[in-house]
Structure 1
């Protein structure tokens, strides 16, 4: 694929993929549970936990700089079977998040201007789905597919534009809060340790996105040693964003305002500015976050599916590049169809896809951190442009953190998936098993083809 991405492109891609819609709706809940300082500390703790996992990516990405990321890392460490499972789960994570961006976008726009309800289709989870509800996500989803088909540079230009608008809106909100807010509004500063840690449990889902960086490794035009800086910087920038929004929201309005029905950040800015237009502008800012996240996860998902297709782990359809633009054209069409169809499930599907895809992400984190430890033992001579200090200690801590993340979503955990969400996970895993079983008869004969594809070697090598 074409190598067009500079350092700033990679950093913007990762940061903007992490900043979606959640900060607008959930900030009031974080402050209510942990208090202002408690919520801030929760994001600091969450960032530190994610950095431990991110450090394993920092070493493995420049050591194995090939499209597919987690797929390539786990193939090197665990072989075909582990890699197949890891690739399929990270694809699920990306597709799941991309799938809910359509319903999130139309929900946000409906807040700005009421979308007419015409063409009743059905009711799902208490929400009436209308044909007019589908127009916006279908059009935007198709547009993003066209942008991605034209190339990574076009995608990153789009990403840079929407991220700039997002940043301007967030900073403007912070300024309004500073000018019109009150320190008294920030009380209580801290509720309890239990309250703070309940916020920590929600933090990992907010940092999903830095792992898109390994997916575009083949499209980077920068020294390998700079990749780790982009990974860590993106996590720190995302943490800074969430902390800024928490402080600005609690400064702008008291808890009873943040906790009102609706979007907590919109409630805060309306209270501080005393002008409804301010809240509308924050929603526009949030829409930019939805678009950047949607685009980022399309990029990540298509690279994983393309890599699996190229390595004969999925049908050849997924491993084809667009003849003109050298992008994963078929994978983009596949993702586009899914993201265009999911609004048919209605507004309440948002939570299903967010939680189910987060489970896929933490499974992939676990596979990568285990692979990091194994490669430190079995591949000591692997060239590592960046080497994590005290790597085995960092790796073991990262594995423990990943296991903790996974446990949260199990039935015994505090963020256990619902029945519907387990069904979504089951359908994805079940369909994956079908592809996996179909690939097994050709596993041995395709070993050389697969390795050449994953590690970008010419066939004669």
Structure 2
């Protein structure tokens, strides 16, 4: 039997919360409020994100049930294998890698965008080409690439140090964002009347809200990083559910206050028409001046840094688990000799993300839409596995791994699964408010083909390894 490589148990509860919250926030709450208001209006965005948060709390509860029962790294990949077998596990894991890696790339892009807004003369140097309406500058590519390499190096240097740093970054993020919003609320130049009309004119309010609900898997993705780190908990896995729900509630609150901070500056329809490169930054600067913009920039940096740390951790742990299970090449489960981190997986994530800045921001936003599909698929699996984990009645026939009779938990998992299927439908069903654009479909097709290539290359060993051995590699022991 091959050696089963394991990760050290060093993560504290507040570190894990910070990984989940920091990943869920990232750059979007600071960069996208104007784009979201253009889609749904201020109240449409806030209601849509809270509805999305409530839906995803069902997924979060289901995920917490699974972490408590099986605190093993790999998240949805591990749980899909447990309930549905190897092919489902590979499918789920591959799409989740896409979602995680895309957000790593987007966070680095957002940092370059912030620098471009603050000091445009420095960044707009070395125009390379124009792609999908976006000018790509060499300095901009250089900045994004440097951030990607720096945070890859930090994650290789040590998991416990980066997780602890993540917590401090989250505290600073919350303090800076709350301070900016409070200052915008009490500034004499602002008015809550600027938030009118509450919904985007010309479309039904339900349609505006639904368009935002559809992107909530992407907006909140990060709370599901908790199971990716489960093998590294130095505390009881029973705490995972609380940490996940706490991350979701704080994230929803943060999104809401950033919409308010943006919309208070001037009538939001006029703000949308300005088409500023960073609408929120421009709005805050007009009211609070350089000091307010500096505070917002600090909050944005913390959001970007926490997103980079969180998703480097999550994506590398997922690839580590898949490499350990022979679903990906064995190099991905190798640990650094000194720091004990999955360095090869981190380097791979960094390498594929280094391609992203060369394609411009428009192409990256297509990838966001496409990655929401993969994230929604993973959420469906989390709930479906949790549904099979429990029984309605003591006499019900159930899988061998079924843990207990718990109709309440089973109902929560069922509701989460149906809601996740609905979220996926909003992206894939023609005519829905969030139906994918053609470029996103093309990107999705390319990712599927790459995954198919990996699977066909590794299928013989992955599929022919005896089940008892695969159980040991993935679960750490034979399945119940």
On the 8 A contact 1:58/1:227 being kept in 2, the answer is yes
Aligned partners of 1:194, 1:20: CA distance in 2, in Å? 26
User: What residue in structure 2 maps to residue 305 of structure 1?
Assistant: 319
Of the structure 1 ranges 72-81 and 390-399, higher mean CA displacement relative to structure 2 is found in 390-399
CA distance 1:39–1:433, change in 2 (3 Å): closer
1:417 aligns with 2:426: no
1:98 aligns with 2:117: no
Residue aligning to 1:187: 196
Correspondence for 1:140: 147
In the alignment, the residues of structure 1 paired with residue 428 and residue 401 of structure 2 have an alpha-carbon distance, to the nearest angstrom, of 37
Q: Counterpart of 2:134?
A: 127
Report the equivalent of 1:374.
388
Range that drifts further, 400-409 or 445-454: 445-454
CA distance in 1, matches of 2:424, 2:265: 35
Measure, in 2, the Cα distance between the counterparts of 1:376 and 1:306. 28
Q: 2:450 aligns with which of 414, 422, 431?
A: 431
How far the C-alpha of 1:419 sits from its partner, in A, is: 2.6
180-189 vs 336-345, which deviates more?
180-189
Q: Cα 1:283–1:430, aligned 2, differ >3 Å: closer, same or farther?
A: same
Contact 2:388/2:402 (<8 A) preserved: no
CA drift at 1:388: 6.9
Computed over aligned residues only, the root mean square deviation of the Cα atoms, in angstroms, reads 2.4
Q: CA deviation at 1:6?
A: 1.0
How much does 1:31 deviate?
4.3
SS of aligned partner of 2:374: helix
For 1:382 and 1:169, how far apart are their aligned partners in 2? 45
Paired residues of 1:12 and 1:160 also in contact (CA < 8 A): yes
Could you say which residue in structure 1 is the equivalent of 2:425?
Answer: 407
Q: Deviations over 1:323-381 (max 9, x none)?
A: 11111111111011112221111232230221121111001111222222233353476
Are the equivalent residues in 2 in contact too, given 1:152–1:219 (CA < 8 A)? no
Structure 2 residue ranges without an equivalent (≥5): 1-6, 392-397
The alpha-carbon distance between structure 1 residues 414 and 40, as it changes in their structure 2 partners (threshold 3 A), is: closer
SS in 1 for 2:355: helix
What whole-Å deviation, never above 9, does each CA across 1:236-283 have from its counterpart, x for those lacking one? Answer: 11011112222333344332453232233223323432x244234423
**Aligned twin of 1:41:** 47
Paired with 1:155 and 1:92, the residues of 2 have a C-alpha distance of: 22
Residue 284 of structure 2 aligns with which residue? 269
Aligned counterparts of 2:191 and 2:132: Cα–Cα separation in 1 = 40
Residues 1:72 and 2:78 aligned together: yes
Superposed CA offset, 1:177-202 (max 9, x none): 22213333333345633333333333
Bigger drift between 323-332 and 416-425 goes to 416-425
Q: Is it true that 1:240 corresponds to 2:272 in the alignment?
A: no
What is aligned with 1:395? Answer: 413
- Measured after TM superposition, the shift of residue 117 of structure 1 is 4.3
Distance of aligned partners of 1:390 and 1:284 in 2 relative to their CA distance in 1, 3 Å threshold: same
| 1:333 aligns to 2:347 (yes or no) | yes
Alignment CA distance shift 1:445-1:389 (3 Å): closer
Change (3 A) 1:125 1:190: closer
What is the CA-CA distance between 1:150 and the residue it aligns to? 1.7
Q: CA deviation at 1:61?
A: 1.2
Report what 1:216 is aligned to.
229
Any gaps of 5 or more consecutive residues in structure 1?
Answer: none
How far apart in 2 are the matches of 1:79 and 1:106?
42
Q: What is the rounded CA distance, in whole Å, between the counterparts of 1:123 and 1:251 in structure 2?
A: 34
For the residue of structure 1 that corresponds to 2:9, the secondary structure is coil
Aligned residues: 456
Q: CA contact under 8 A between 1:178 and 1:252: conserved in structure 2?
A: no
Secondary structure of the structure 2 residue equivalent to 1:123: strand
TM-score (norm. length: structure 2)? 0.88
**Does the Cα contact within 8 Å between 2:390 and 2:406 map onto a contact in 1?**
no
Report which stretch shifted further, 367-376 or 48-57: 367-376
| Cross-structure match for 2:378 | 364
Partner-residue secondary structure (3-state), 1:129: strand
1:440 match: 459
8 Å contact from structure 2 (residues 389, 403) kept in 1:
no
2:210–2:433 Cα contact (<8 Å) kept: no
* TM-score, L = length of structure 1: 0.92
SS of the equivalent of 2:390 reads: helix
